[in-house]
Amino acid sequence: MIIITCYKITQRLILLKRQHNGYARKGGKGLRYSRQRELIIENIKSRKDHPTADMIYDAVREKDETVSLGTVYRNLKNLSESGEIDTLETEDKKIRYDGDISPHAHFICRGCGKIVDVFDKVADESALKKLGLKVTGEKLVFYGLCKDCQKDK
């Protein structure tokens, strides 16, 4: 009885931590807690390199060898659809994942493939409102050469 009670308390604390860290689905539709999903979310949220599913899989497998590639892909799909993470498609059609869901643009280097977050406001929303447009999201990607690749050219 004590073990079951401790387990329930632990699960509740983990759920509260997830909600506090912004991991609960919008609209109150939460996913059932899973340790593997938690590892995937923590990995994405802690990274700035906009990883691929394979990169996430490799990193999560270091912490839990039982995680399958299918589990990673399913969770990435669910997290993306719920708005908990963002996706970014590169020119070579690879999907990259971003744990930072705040409004921002991206710069993708055509030389090395590095992706950089750009947080300056690019489009003026008041100009869009004057056109009668309501902004519900944004996704802006710049392409070019990063500083390192410019030096090499």
Average pLDDT score, the chain: 83
Q: What is the pLDDT of residue 27?
A: 34
Q: What is the pLDDT of residue 20?
A: 56
Lowest-confidence region among 33-37, 50-54, 74-78, 109-113: 33-37
83: CATH: 1.10.10.10
Q: What is the pLDDT of residue 42?
A: 94
Same domain, 73 and 133: no
Same domain, 25 and 88: yes
Q: What is the pLDDT of residue 3?
A: 57
Q: What is the pLDDT of residue 134?
A: 81
Same domain, 59 and 21: yes
Question: In the predicted model, is pLDDT for residue 75 greater than 70?
Answer: yes
Same domain, 71 and 124: no
Q: What is the pLDDT of residue 85?
A: 92
- pLDDT tens per residue, range 118-132: 887 666 777 778 888
Show the domain range for 138: 105-152
Q: What is the pLDDT of residue 25?
A: 42
Same domain, 42 and 82: yes
Q: What is the pLDDT of residue 10?
A: 65
User: DSSP for the chain?
Assistant: -HHHHHHHHHHHHHHHHHHHTT-SPGGG-PPPP-HHHHHHHHHHHT-SS---HHHHHHHHHHH-TT--HHHHHHHHHHHHHTTSSEEEE-TTS-EEEES--SS-EEEEETTT--EEEE-S--S-HHHHHHTT--------EEEE--HHHHHH-
- pLDDT tens per residue, range 1-57: 555 555 566 666 666 665 555 544 433 346 677 889 999 999 999 999 999 999 999
Boundary-marking domain end, from 75, 98, 121: 98
133: CATH: 3.30.1490.190
Q: What is the pLDDT of residue 65?
A: 95
Same domain, 34 and 75: yes
The domain tally of the chain equals 2
